[in-house]
Structure 1
Amino acid sequence: MRCLVVGGSGLLGSALVRACLASGHEVAATYRTRPGQTADVAWLPLDVRRRDDVDALVAAFRPDVVINAAFRQADWPTTAMGPANVALAVAARGGRLVHVSSDAVFSGAAVHYDETCVPDPITPYGAAKAAAETAVAAIDPAAVIVRTSLIIGDGGSAHETRVRSLATGAAQGVLFTDDVRCPVHVADLAAALLDLAASGHHGVHHVAGPDAMSRYELGRLIALRDGLDPDRLPAGRRAGSGVPGPLDVRLECGMTRGRLRTRVRGAREFLV
């Protein structure tokens, strides 16, 4: 199978590239500023904001599957318009599209959100992700849209880097005790995305870990794994802090779980 990973040099994109190679697929991956480090991959420069460039790349590579993991939190055109450009190119050429979305599309007012829930974002990033979902679904109804939660790796994610900096005194700040998500390991998420790419399913799916926890509790687990003192992590509350964003967002994944071959682990398992 010919797989194109859009945004292949990021944390999730890199895991997707490795998972595709491990499954014996032919892989190309795009990057915006610098290529990834994985060998045996065709690394292709791409700015997803440029519709003609996206169309030309998809036309040249002719992938069977495109997985879009590209985003920039403060860049509406990349996060909202880029997925529309990808969907237009895939719809014109044929093939399977899997688009990665986020739990940021929800406000947290309902706390628990299943795959049928309609986005109600309260941040610009959440609004961009919700707009992308709408565009992808309208352009390519056969596409899979996968909402996920806080992505954790084996030390390489932004949250893990922040935890280490706070625990060692290299940075100031707090980890919120009232900001709750369902962390997912990047390798599990990548495997689940490939499961859905190979399936006949379409529409919205949720892939997140089964353990709901605060960023502070997650930070303590990361510190323990890394041999750091979790008691050195400063705690605080997001409510009243002035930091925008939802508080408690828990993705319910029951429908999706029944369609996956991959077992998605909780943070209390993969961080032990």
Structure 2
Amino acid sequence: PALLARTCAGHGITLVHVSSDYVFDGTAEVHDEDEPFSPLSVYGQTKAAGDIAVAGCPRHYVMRSSWVIGEGHNFVKTMKGLSDRVADPEDRLTQVTVVDDQLGRLTFTRDMAGAIFHVLGSHAPYGTY
């Protein structure tokens, strides 16, 4: 992201960066654009560093997402597939285990694409969404 930000800034290009809720610690029920970073993991720290680097580009949009789901491989399809395997008497999978200590809101890829095209097409103020 830092290289992209420098390149875009140097050429007057608008940069759209898809970020993550992992930049937060999850204690707030709803996150807003002004919430300070509070990542809990190295992954979250690197995403926050990317957001900071992108913010150095004058013409930037940081688009926050969480639990991204689309037409390709995703968590919902994986869970369905595993459940189907448990239901199949010929499959040796007897149970599905998954973390159960997380709450999230899905970001549908079509909605994210629509939001990106909206901020670009409407010339929304640069910043974080």
Gaps of 5+ in 2: 86-90
Q: Residue 111 of structure 1 is aligned with which of 8, 29, 54?
A: 29
Q: CA deviation at 1:97?
A: 1.1
Amino acid in the other structure paired with 1:200: A
Which runs of structure 2 are paired with 1:26-41 in the superposition (5 Å)? none
Residue in 2 that maps onto 1:268: none
Counterpart contact for 1:107–1:122, Cα < 8 Å: yes
Counterpart contact for 1:100–1:146, Cα < 8 Å: yes
**Mapped pair 1:151 → 2:68:** yes
CA displacement, residues 100-140 of structure 1 (integer Å, 9 cap, x when unaligned): 100011111223211110110001111110000011112x1
SS at match of 1:113: coil
**Mapped pair 1:186 → 2:102:** no
Amino acid in the other structure paired with 2:3: N
Q: How far, CA to CA, are the matches of 1:193 and 1:147 in structure 2? A: 11
The runs of 4+ residues in structure 1 deviating greater than 3 Å are 170-173, 175-178
Q: CA deviation at 1:176?
A: 3.7
Counterpart contact for 1:141–1:203, Cα < 8 Å: no
Q: How far, CA to CA, are the matches of 2:6 and 2:50 in structure 1? A: 12
Amino acid in the other structure paired with 1:166: L
**Mapped pair 1:92 → 2:15:** no
Counterpart contact for 1:151–1:157, Cα < 8 Å: no
Q: How far, CA to CA, are the matches of 2:34 and 2:73 in structure 1? A: 29
Counterpart contact for 1:97–1:197, Cα < 8 Å: no
**Mapped pair 1:161 → 2:77:** yes
Amino acid in the other structure paired with 1:183: L
Q: CA deviation at 1:158?
A: 2.5
Q: CA deviation at 1:188?
A: 1.1
Residue in 1 that maps onto 2:59: 142
CA displacement, residues 11-57 of structure 1 (integer Å, 9 cap, x when unaligned): xxxxxxxxxxxxxxxxxxxxxxxxxxxxxxxxxxxxxxxxxxxxxxx
Q: Residue 174 of structure 1 is aligned with which of 92, 97, 119?
A: 97
Q: Name whichever structure is richer in strand by fraction.
A: 1
Q: How far, CA to CA, are the matches of 2:125 and 2:40 in structure 1? A: 29
Q: CA deviation at 1:149?
A: 1.0
Counterpart contact for 1:152–1:159, Cα < 8 Å: yes
Alignment length (residue pairs): 121
State the identity as a percent: 33
Residue in 2 that maps onto 1:204: 128
Q: CA deviation at 1:182?
A: 0.9
Q: How far, CA to CA, are the matches of 1:93 and 1:143 in structure 2? A: 13
Q: How far, CA to CA, are the matches of 1:157 and 1:197 in structure 2? A: 27
SS at match of 1:112: coil
Q: How far, CA to CA, are the matches of 1:110 and 1:188 in structure 2? A: 23
What is the TM-score when the length of structure 1 is the normalising length? 0.41
Amino acid in the other structure paired with 2:127: G
What is the TM-score when the length of structure 2 is the normalising length? 0.83
Amino acid in the other structure paired with 2:25: S
Counterpart contact for 2:9–2:58, Cα < 8 Å: no
